[in-house]
Amino acid sequence: MSPELSRLSVNQETVRQLSLPELAESCAKAGVGQVGLWRAPVQEYGIERAGKLMKDAGLTVTSLCRGGFLTATDPAERARALEDNRAAVDEAAGVGTDTLVLVSGGLPPGDKDLYGARERIADALAELAPYAGERGVRLAIEPLHPMFASDRCVVSTLSQALDLAERFPAEQVGVVVDAYHIWWDDQVPAQIARAGAGGRIHSFQLADWITPLPAGVLVGRGQLGDGSVDFRFLRRHVEATGFDGPIEVEIFNEDLWARDGAEVVAEVAARYLEHAC
């Protein structure tokens, strides 16, 4: 592996067209030593089996996506969400990663109270954080771009994510610094410093911001270098805090999914070197 690639992790969803064995093979071929995984394909392959596959291929699993969706007001729905998140923690430990990414959840139907929804996340974390901590798994709250605030994640900024995380020990709850979601925010340098000082940068992810956004906006992320995000600027701030963990590339993009997956992995590595190193 080239030393420049030693920090790179390729998130599985970037190349969702690849099976887990194909992902492992493509990473080895491209000189990539780390991967981020998703629950559904890992469950399908078998959790321990997926962990062994990655380990045998010399790959480190840097994160599992995802738990969360903790904003329900309905008690039965809330109980189901907590149960599912405990399962996600178990799966993270089972597949051999210390980091579970949380997408916190949007507003319940008809509800307009963002503040209340954020408090319900805190209540849920109070139950989940010790459970995760006992299993050696860190919960990583991911602020999602404000365009997802109503239907996916009421946590829209690093500042809001840290306000939640800091109620718990850093080894239990931290944040994801995802360039795609936060690149527009002028508070980010200060909030990265805050997160780093508290040891709460549990994941650092990259995708580029491109327009026009597609309908539904979920799968409109760009390959590194195709958009407006200054990755070196963000990386400089993240590393100024002493962070030396993985840098994970997670792109949701129909064009990338339609291509040969191994070729996309190689392109991610090349773009990473060109735009984020």
> Which residues are at the interface with a second copy (CB under 8 A)?
107, 111-115, 118, 145-147, 149-151, 154, 156-157, 159-160, 183-186, 209, 211-217, 227-230, 233
Nearer CB in complex with a second copy: 46/108: 108
- Residue 262 C-beta: closest distance to a second copy, Å: 29
Q: Which residue has the tokens 């006992």?
A: 134
**Residue placing its CB nearer to a second copy in the complex, 74 or 233:** 233
φ/ψ of residue 26, rounded to 5: -65, -40
Q: Which residue, 60 or 228, is less far from a second copy as judged by CB?
A: 228
Q: How far is CA 105 from the centre of its chain?
A: 14
Q: Which residue, 147 or 273, has its beta carbon nearer to a second copy?
A: 147
Nearer to a second copy, 84 or 111 (CB): 111
Q: How many CB atoms lie within 10 A of CB 118?
A: 20
Cβ nearer to a second copy, comparing 230 with 274 = 230
Give the nearer residue to a second copy in terms of CB position, either 100 or 154: 154
Smallest distance from the beta carbon of 217 to a second copy, in angstroms? 5
- Written as six digits, the tokens of 133 are 């901590």
Q: How far is the CB of 78 from a second copy (least distance, A)?
A: 20
Kindly report the length of the chain: 277
Q: Which two tokens stand for residue 182?
A: 């936060």
Residue 135: CB minimum distance to a second copy, A? 31
Run of H or E including 76:
helix 75-95
Widest CA span of the chain, in angstroms? Answer: 52
Tokens for 201, please give them: 């940068």
For a second copy, the closer CB: 76 or 211:
211
- Find the shortest distance in angstroms from Cβ 104 to a second copy: 13
Query: CA–CA separation, 94 vs 48, rounded Å?
Result: 6
My answer on whether omega of the bond before 49 falls inside 30° of 0, hence cis, is no
Kindly state the smallest distance separating residue 28's Cβ from a second copy, in Å: 32
Q: Kindly report the backbone phi and psi dihedral angles of residue 265, in degrees, each rounded to the nearest multiple of 5, phi listed first.
A: -60, -45
CA distance linking residue 104 with residue 69, whole number of Å: 5
Q: Smallest distance, Å, CB 197 to a second copy?
A: 21
Contact 108, 142 (CB under 8 A): no
H or E stretch at 174: strand 173-178
Rounded to the nearest whole angstrom, what is the least distance from the CB of residue 110 to a second copy in the complex?
A: 9
C-alpha span between 62 and 124 (Å, rounded) = 24
**Coil, strand, or helix at residue 63?**
strand
